[in-house]
Amino acid sequence: MESNLEKVYDPSKVEDRLYKKWLDKNYFHAEADESKEPFTIVIPPPNITGQLHMGHALDNTLQDILIRYKRMQGYNTLWQPGTDHASIATEVKIVNQMAEEGITKKDIGREGFLERAWDWKEEYGGKIIEQLKKLGASCDWERERFTMDEGLSDAVLEVFLRLYEKGYIYRGAKIINWCPVCKTTISEAEVEHEEKQGKFWHIKYPIKGTDEFIQIATTRPETMLGDTAIAVHPEDERYAHLIGSKVILPLVNREIPIIADEYVDQEFGSGVVKITPAHDPNDFEVGSRHNLEQINVMNDDGTINEKGGKYQGLSRYDARKAIVKDLEDVDLLVKIEDHTHNVGMHDRCNTVIEPLIKMQWFLAMEELAKPAIEAYKKDELKFVPDRFGKVYLHWLENIRDWCISRQLWWGHRIPAYYCKDCNEFIVSKEKPAQCKCGSDQLHQDEDSLDTWFSSALWPFSTLGWPEQTKEFEHFYPTDVLVTGYDIIFFWVVRMVFSGLEHTGELPFNTVFIHGLVRDAQGRKMSKSLGNGIDPLEIIEQYGADSLRLTLVSGNAPGNDMRFHIEKVEANRNFANKIWNASRFILMNLEGKTVKAVNTSDLTQADKWILSKANHLAKDVTDNMDKFDLGVAVGKLYDFIWEEFCDWYIEMVKPRLYNDEDSTKDAALWTLKTVLVQSLKLLHPYMPFITEEIFSFVEDKEESIMIASWPTYKEEWDFEQDEKEIELIKQAVRGIRNVRAEMNVPPSKKAKVFVVTTKEDIQTIFEKAKVFFATLGYASEVVIQEDKKGIDNDAVSSVIPDATIFMPFAELIDVNKEVERLEKEKAKLEKELNRSNKMLSNESFVSKAPANKIEEEKAKLEKYKTMMKQVEERLDQLKNK
């Protein structure tokens, strides 16, 4: 075996080459194969306008970890990639581009605009895909789909027709979120609620036929032009006598009723609210209950329309100023208060959204929601962590009908055709030849469908549905959906009810939720704050593996994480640690053929590290199956860095440097075996460095990507050897700590005495003498039952059932040794106090499991023994 690893690991020289190798070997591709068990993940399709950000990096790293893990376990894995047309995001980009050229949508018409949109898609649509490849994403790129592909578009039309024919899709006038700049309805997902400083205007409404007034408070005085009622709570005694009366709407002089509705909060403000059904979703519901008139006073661009009287033509904010001034002039403005409240903003253009009543297409949700609710309640659909299932359920149980139409040109056009002669419409995949009335004067609806309508079909439309393709039959339902908690409502819910409605099956059985990636101060990354971090820059500087490990390590499902560049640097150091350890092993393997060894040929150290690696494989597998990816990689990190590199490699060095040592072959076999096992376990997290090292150290499997996943082996379970080596490690740590406290250089060797009366402990240390020269800087190791021959100036380290002495008084300040032992005594006193309190606590003793009580008793005895040894040593030094 030869070692050709570069002296220093340089990701920039490795990553692109290895990714090309994986593509050339077709490792990412999956064919429908009934002889294999499938495992499928669909990528949350990024927008074609998208630039890879840290949220994408986290989301896709998690998916890649799962898919690489399952691939190594032998599953027929498909990670289905693709992109979303992102109606409004893309249209905004193109409109802005056109504006720079002095062109509008009206100038070029719908067909001309769509030509530009498709050109945009061709130029920019694949950008984020190439960026995902830099991250190491092992998607099946041969199957890449786009939400406006011919097949996916056909699925959208098929679903629309099915839902319309069942009566679930209907056209009606309801209140929606309206963007006055983009001039379209927008989904809740595109509304970002920002805390803003505003005002509360307190206004008097005159009660008809009296000299009395009723006072309301509003944050939007301009909407009062569309008020159609004043509401009070039916049990509010202050206003009971006014219910049924009328008020005169200020400035408009229209009579509106005072109604009673439980929507009103008696404790908030004056306990009176104005009802404007056309401009507030809650007021819309109140208005529907009381059959109130709906008066829309705004144009699509946010200016006041003809129903606003003298304010017609003013922008909503100029109208607000004018109305407030006019109210002051007629002495109907009581006061103005500062008020902080959440304001809905359109995330694409940063415009305050306006709730408006519009004739739109809606999807009735009540019946569609029921199976999605049942799937969760029956535990058929799981959320990780489960608390997000409650969020999913709450939203479904309070769901409203979904506005699915958008006033956009880029997207799936609504398949409805209107007759110019009879004003009827026909829903059809293709334009009908004529209307039912015989007219051929038909034109298609100008609106497009909400982007979420097509992405709701993503798990099955990407596999060929509605055709019964072999891919659909083999890979659907998919297994896990990985996504952020911020789109549970808008995407996860819609995929679930769509899958159940159109395929009869859940689209996935598990939803693995992750949080947001925040900056080091815990703030959300945003353009306005200027705190965004480009993943590609991190990859360029530190490598994809270091970024991936940073995003996953220490990160629990569902929780936000803070991104620290120091963590990336630490993970780069970890990569270098693995690289240097591998170079050392390969140099020792160079020119040698490593043959399998018998268990009897292994030393205690070999058995210890094999047993550790064996249990690690089991633990990591268990953690990954439970989606505790951060916990799993934390165990891997500790094992590789500490157990393997810092302990085992150091333990075996004397054997490697001694050609006469009969256990040298066993050491080489163990080094290679544990290295290969560690690389395999680490591969899903750090695919590039593990593949590069693996290609040099292992010649039986062509790539780590398709290598077999490590499994637990009974024959590698050496429990007793593990315990014994752990005791030795404890002793060595004690020696190192004492020496470090006294600033004794490693070059200064010292005689080590192990004092214990227990024969089994003596035997353990007798077998481990060889380790102390390199690990404990020992010139000689003496094992004895008492302190005979040990100088009183010797320093010590206490471990269970033994004390380690080092007689190098000339290097020691006795006062410092006393100080150190006093500290150790104080720590032991705390532990003794804690353990005694716990065991004297009746509640603990009566309720705790028996094994927990016994464990605590054993700890107490151990602390007592250690305390006795420390006190004896202190007494010796103080009375010297």
446 closest CA partner among 149, 90, 106:
106
26 closest CA partner among 77, 73, 64, 74:
77
**Number of neighbours of residue 454 by Cβ within 10 angstroms:** 23
Stretch 519-540: mean pLDDT, rounded? 84
Distances (CA, A) of 289 to 52, 283, 364, 399, 405: 47, 10, 19, 18, 25
Q: Tell me, yes or no, whether 336 and 203 share the same domain.
A: yes
Q: How far apart are CA 5 and CA 585, in angstroms?
A: 11
Q: Residue 512 pairs with which residues in a beta bridge?
A: 384, 482
pLDDT at 145 over 50: yes
Ranking 320-334, 767-781, 810-824 by mean pLDDT, the lowest is: 810-824
Q: How far apart are CA 719 and CA 651, in angstroms?
A: 19
Residue 63 placed within a domain: no
pLDDT at 880 over 60: no
| Phi, psi (rounded to 5 degrees) for 501 | -70, -40
Q: How far apart are CA 44 and CA 21, in angstroms?
A: 26
Q: How far apart are CA 686 and CA 14, in angstroms?
A: 13
As for how many domains the chain has, the answer is 3
Stretch 288-296: mean pLDDT, rounded? 94
For residue 326, what is the domain's CATH number?
3.90.740.10
Q: How far apart are CA 772 and CA 781, in angstroms?
A: 7
pLDDT at 864 over 60: yes
Q: Residue 751 pairs with which residues in a beta bridge?
A: 780
Q: How far apart are CA 534 and CA 540, in angstroms?
A: 10
Does the bond joining 45 to the residue before it have cis omega, within 30 degrees of 0? no
Q: Tell me, yes or no, whether 765 and 701 share the same domain.
A: no
Q: Tell me, yes or no, whether 587 and 623 share the same domain.
A: yes
Q: What local confidence, expressed as pLDDT, does residue 254 receive?
A: 94
Residue 405 placed within a domain: no
Stretch 671-694: mean pLDDT, rounded? 98
Q: Tell me, yes or no, whether 345 and 295 share the same domain.
A: yes
Q: What local confidence, expressed as pLDDT, does residue 291 receive?
A: 95
Predicted confidence (pLDDT) per residue in 404-421, tens digit: 999 999 999 999 999 999
Q: Tell me, yes or no, whether 767 and 695 share the same domain.
A: no
* Cβ–Cβ under 8 Å, residues 492 and 514: no
Record the tokens describing residue 26, joined without a space.
């077709």
pLDDT at 752 over 90: no
Residue 438 placed within a domain: no
* Cβ–Cβ under 8 Å, residues 512 and 384: yes
Predicted confidence (pLDDT) per residue in 350-369, tens digit: 889 999 999 999 999 999 99
Record the tokens describing residue 152, joined without a space.
């996916």
User: 444 CB contacts (<8 Å, ≥6 apart)?
Assistant: 413, 414, 415, 416, 417, 418, 431
Q: Tell me, yes or no, whether 190 and 258 share the same domain.
A: yes
Q: How far apart are CA 75 and CA 706, in angstroms?
A: 10
Q: What local confidence, expressed as pLDDT, does residue 311 receive?
A: 96
Q: How far apart are CA 859 and CA 637, in angstroms?
A: 28
Place 486 in a pLDDT band, splitting at 50, 70 and 90: confident
Q: Tell me, yes or no, whether 681 and 788 share the same domain.
A: no
Q: Where are the strands (E) in 34-75, listed by range? A: 38-42
pLDDT at 3 over 70: no
Q: How far apart are CA 769 and CA 762, in angstroms?
A: 11
310 is in an annotated binding site: no
Does the bond joining 385 to the residue before it have cis omega, within 30 degrees of 0? yes
* Cβ–Cβ under 8 Å, residues 59 and 377: no
Residue 611 placed within a domain: yes
* Cβ–Cβ under 8 Å, residues 63 and 80: no
* Cβ–Cβ under 8 Å, residues 508 and 459: yes
Predicted confidence (pLDDT) per residue in 221-248, tens digit: 999 999 999 999 999 999 999 999 999 9
Mean of per-residue pLDDT scores for the chain: 92
Q: How far apart are CA 157 and CA 501, in angstroms?
A: 15
Eight-class DSSP state of 519 = -
The DSSP string of 746-765 is: TT--EEEEEE-S-HHHHHHH
* Domain final residue pick, 320, 338, 355: 355
* Domain final residue pick, 355, 382, 403: 355
Q: Tell me, yes or no, whether 777 and 823 share the same domain.
A: yes
Q: How far apart are CA 234 and CA 212, in angstroms?
A: 20
For residue 692, what is the domain's CATH number?
1.10.730.10
Residue 496 placed within a domain: no
Residue 189 placed within a domain: yes
Q: Which helix (H) or strand (E) holds 20?
A: helix 11-24
Residue 55 or residue 744, greater confidence: 55
Place 547 in a pLDDT band, splitting at 50, 70 and 90: very high
Collapsing DSSP to helix, strand or coil, 773 comes out as: helix
Q: What local confidence, expressed as pLDDT, does residue 636 receive?
A: 98
pLDDT at 876 over 80: no
Stretch 668-697: mean pLDDT, rounded? 97
Q: Where are the strands (E) in 208-367, listed by range? A: 213-218, 229-232, 246-249, 254-260, 272-275, 333-346, 351-352, 354-363
Q: Tell me, yes or no, whether 646 and 679 share the same domain.
A: yes
Q: What local confidence, expressed as pLDDT, does residue 819 receive?
A: 85
pLDDT at 1 over 50: no
Separation of first and last alpha carbons in the chain: 59
Place 795 in a pLDDT band, splitting at 50, 70 and 90: confident
Distances (CA, A) of 634 to 346, 571, 689: 40, 12, 18
Q: How many helices (H) and strands (E) does the chain have?
A: 28, 30
Eight-class DSSP state of 275 = E
| ∠ CA 29-31-32, rounded to 5° | 150
551: amino acid identity, one letter? L
Predicted confidence (pLDDT) per residue in 107-136, tens digit: 999 999 999 999 999 988 889 999 999 999
Q: Tell me, yes or no, whether 628 and 708 share the same domain.
A: yes
pLDDT at 475 over 80: yes
pLDDT at 151 over 90: yes
Q: What local confidence, expressed as pLDDT, does residue 535 receive?
A: 92
Stretch 444-449: mean pLDDT, rounded? 96
* Cβ–Cβ under 8 Å, residues 124 and 97: no
867 closest CA partner among 845, 843, 842, 835:
835
Dihedral sign of CA atoms 183, 184, 189, 195 in order: positive
Record the tokens describing residue 287, joined without a space.
């208005």
Record the tokens describing residue 840, joined without a space.
């004297």
Phi-psi region of 280 (alpha: psi -120 to 50; beta: other; left: phi over 0): beta
Long-range contacts of 99-106 (CB under 8 A, 24+ apart): 105/409
* Cβ–Cβ under 8 Å, residues 681 and 624: no
pLDDT at 763 over 80: yes
Place 811 in a pLDDT band, splitting at 50, 70 and 90: low
* Domain final residue pick, 717, 750, 784: 717
pLDDT at 205 over 90: yes
Residue ranges making up the domain that contains 821: 734-878
Q: Tell me, yes or no, whether 703 and 756 share the same domain.
A: no
Q: What local confidence, expressed as pLDDT, does residue 809 receive?
A: 58
Record the tokens describing residue 819, joined without a space.
């100080």
Q: How far apart are CA 809 and CA 354, in angstroms?
A: 82
Residue 104 placed within a domain: no
Residue 852 or residue 24, greater confidence: 24
Q: Tell me, yes or no, whether 764 and 672 share the same domain.
A: no
* Cβ–Cβ under 8 Å, residues 327 and 251: yes
Residue 316 or residue 749, greater confidence: 316
Predicted confidence (pLDDT) per residue in 557-608, tens digit: 888 889 999 999 999 999 999 999 999 999 999 888 888 888 889 999 999 9
pLDDT at 816 over 90: no
CB-count burial class (<10 Å; 0-12, 13-18, 19+) for 33 = exposed
Residue 350 placed within a domain: yes
Collapsing DSSP to helix, strand or coil, 172 comes out as: strand
